[in-house]
Structure 1
């Protein structure tokens, strides 16, 4: 499985123009980096090098999490508040990536 493409991200957020492609690429790269940081693992497209014992190949769950996070940032360029309370990313995001997290001891 590979990291999401800009076209896949545009489909995910129902966007049909190219004007924001550079911004979407930035959000997708930032989402990848954020997820790597949360998981304490480096994400790879095809295979994990032997030198990286904690690396992981992107699977469907991680790919969807990247799409969700990048899409959330695209739709909500600033902090999200609901009735004056800060809102967190939907629970589905955590459910998708937490099984792959390595928690340092």
Structure 2
């Protein structure tokens, strides 16, 4: 994992352990989604660039905080604002 549960908990300002398994799942799902989007698994990066780590943090945090596909009373976004901007340079590199 490019992001640890401890780091995601800092991002979320979470200080309890009851959701650690769920947080680990969100990290794995975010890493997989980003790897699929850019066409290269994050484990292939050594080290994982800080911008991709930030994208994992933002995406995993968003999925943790918004656990359903639909949020009533809020604008709908496929992914959090800025995540695609963070990963876009790596998507372009993989297409060259």
- Which TM-score band (shorter chain)? 0.7 to 0.9
More strand by share: 1
Corresponding residue for residue 45 of structure 2: 56
Residues 1:87 and 2:86 aligned together:
no
Corresponding residue for residue 35 of structure 2: 36
Corresponding residue for residue 90 of structure 2: 100
In 2, Cα distance between the equivalents of 1:84 and 1:19? 27
1:81 and 1:87 in contact (8 A); partners too: no
Runs of 4 or more consecutive aligned structure 1 residues displaced over 3 Å after TM superposition = 80-85
- Give 5+ residue unaligned stretches, structure 2: none
Q: Which moved more, 1:77-86 or 1:34-43?
A: 77-86
Could you tell me how far 1:80 is from its partner in structure 2? 3.9
Aligned residue-pair number: 93
Corresponding residue for residue 59 of structure 2: 69
- Give 5+ residue unaligned stretches, structure 1: 45-54
In 2, Cα distance between the equivalents of 1:22 and 1:8? 14
Q: Which has the larger radius of gyration?
A: 1
Q: 1:82 to 1:89 in 2, by over 3 A?
A: farther
In 1, Cα distance between the equivalents of 2:74 and 2:63? 19
